[in-house]
Structures are given as structure tokens and as C-alpha cells.
Amino acid sequence: MSDLADRVLAGELRALSRALSLLERNNPGAASAMERLDPHTGRAYVVGITGPPGVGKSTLLDRLTEHLRSLGLTVGILAVDPTSPFTGGALLGDRIRMQRHYLDAGVFIRSVATRGQSGGLPRIVKSMARVLDAAGKDVVLVETVGVGQTELGIMGVADSVVVTMTPESGDSIQTLKAGVMEIADLYVINKADRDGANQLAAAVTAMLQMADLSAGWNPPVLLTQAYANVGIAELWENVGAHRAYLRDRGELERRRAERRRQEFLETVQEELYRRIAGHLARDAGLINLLAEIDGKTAEPYAAAMGLLSEPIKLAELLDDTPAR
């Protein structure tokens, strides 16, 4: 896989697409490719765009990409979509949402399926963002599916998180929820030509004033009309200000180090679950144990702890890799 990694580093789009596909399929070759690519990461700036459904995240992403290209910056886009119940793939395609950027050599677009994972985006997006980074993209934009207050997965991948809202959709109430308060580095009130935009901006500003932000970053509240390309340049200027704030205080490196550790732990957890789930279909002992749990002759918590306390059985679970 070193040849594939070298081609990614050289900016070959076909190799980049294949590397992302290996990650999505959990192919063993992805690990060696990531080892080769990892020393070349850390240059791209990752911006997450999240918010409830219908606020115009895709249009905002489209216009922001247009602005970045006008500045001569290359862009990688990871657009996370709901998973198709039939194919397992992303329900919406990159050609649909970003048609006019598709043939731009300076823009690479990838739709990613959530695959049922919570948090607004799957764990694999973290690795994918680093592949785009290694491939030389200046900015990586990550758009989540429409999320609620408890789905904060974007914090685990983005350097700056943009929470997008729109008037006339009850968002003034939603701003009072703790999740949105904790996730945003920048607030965007999109579709600002609609009634209620200024009131929503005032509500968010009032919420921020009640918070103790004196010792840290004070998230700006920005008004945009993405469909008309209004406020996009100001949005990017504020992202730049946040980037400078993080860099000057050493916070950018601290956040990135913390995210790497979290990615490691999540990968271990995900892989352990996959291996154990693979055993459930063919291990007679586990099948019998599940039958006892179903029949209430075994207690779920005690049975799980007992299984993990058996070194031989645990070693079997860890060593075996089901066929892909």
C-alpha cells in the first residue's frame, strides 16, 4: 500500500478515491496506507458545518467552496448523508449537491454514508479528513446530516465548527439547548432575508452573553443568505479569526492531539465490537450464552463480565478476524 500512499501524496485523484474506499470498507490495507500518509498531515484546516435539517447547509457549503476557490485554495469535501437501507451507501450523491464543482480539479468531493452511527457522522470521517489533508487540500469541509442537540460528533473532526440555523423553524428555542451551546465556534443564521432572522440572532447573542466566555473565544453570530452568496466572505474571515485564535494559544495543536487519541479509542471499540459480532454467528459457546440470556437463565451484565474475564475466550475474540 506504500505505492497507493505515494500516489495520494502526489495528488493523484484516482489514488485518493481508492484510499477513501479502503477506509470505508475497513480493508486491512488501509492501515498501512494511513501509516505512510500520517506524517504528511496537519497542514489542512478542517471546518465542520452542522445544524438541523433544512437550514441550507449544502448551499452554504457550495458557496463557501466557491469563495475558497476564488482565493486560490484547494478544497476537500466530505458530505455525510443518511445510509440507504437497500445499498448501504449514501442516500444523496456528491454530483447532486455540488454539480458545478465536480469538474474542478481543485475540489475533491466525497459522499459518506452514516452507516447507522450516531453523532452526525461516522468515525471513519476522521481518517478520511486526514487523507484529504495528506493529499494537499488546503481546506477540508465536513457537512453532517441534520443533527439534534445530543449529536456532537463533528467536534471530533473539525478545527472550527459552524452551527447553522434558520429563522421560522423554532430555532430560537433550540438555542437554549446545552448541546448547541457547547458545539459552536461560529453561529450562522442562514436564510437571513426571512422574517425572524434578526430576532434569532439576538436570541443567540443573548445566550452567549449569559455564558462565561470572558477567558475564551466569543463565537460570532453571522447572518448569511447562501443562495444569494451574501455573507460568505465574512463567514470565512471569521473562520480565519478563530483559526488564528486557536493557533496563537496553542489550542489548535491540543485539540488535534485530543482528537487523535479519541480516534484511536473509537477505532479499538468499533473493531472489538465487529470481531465479537462476527463470532456470534458461528461460536457454539456464544450462541448458547445468548440463548441463556434470552431465556433469563443468564443475566446480561454478569454474563458479559464473565466472558471478558476468561483469558482464553477473550484471546480468541481478539485474534480472529472475520472474512470481509
DSSP per-residue string spanning 159-208: SEEEEEE-SSSSHHHHTTSHHHHHH-SEEEE-STTSTTHHHHHHHHHHHH
**Which of 279, 236, 299, 274 shows the shortest CA–CA distance to 63?**
236
Q: Which three cell numbers stand for residue 237?
A: 474571515
Model pLDDT, residue 91: 47
pLDDT at 205 over 80: yes
- Give every CB contact of residue 100 below 8 A, 6+ residues apart in sequence: 62
Model pLDDT, residue 323: 45
The pTM (predicted TM-score) of the whole model is: 0.86
Pairing of strands 45-50, 139-143: parallel
> How far, in whole angstroms, is CA 226 from its chain's centroid?
22
Of 85-99, 214-228, 287-301, the range with the lowest mean pLDDT is: 85-99
Model pLDDT, residue 324: 42
Band (212; pLDDT cuts 50, 70, 90): low
Q: Which three cell numbers stand for residue 49?
A: 458545518
What mean pLDDT is predicted for residues 214-227? 88
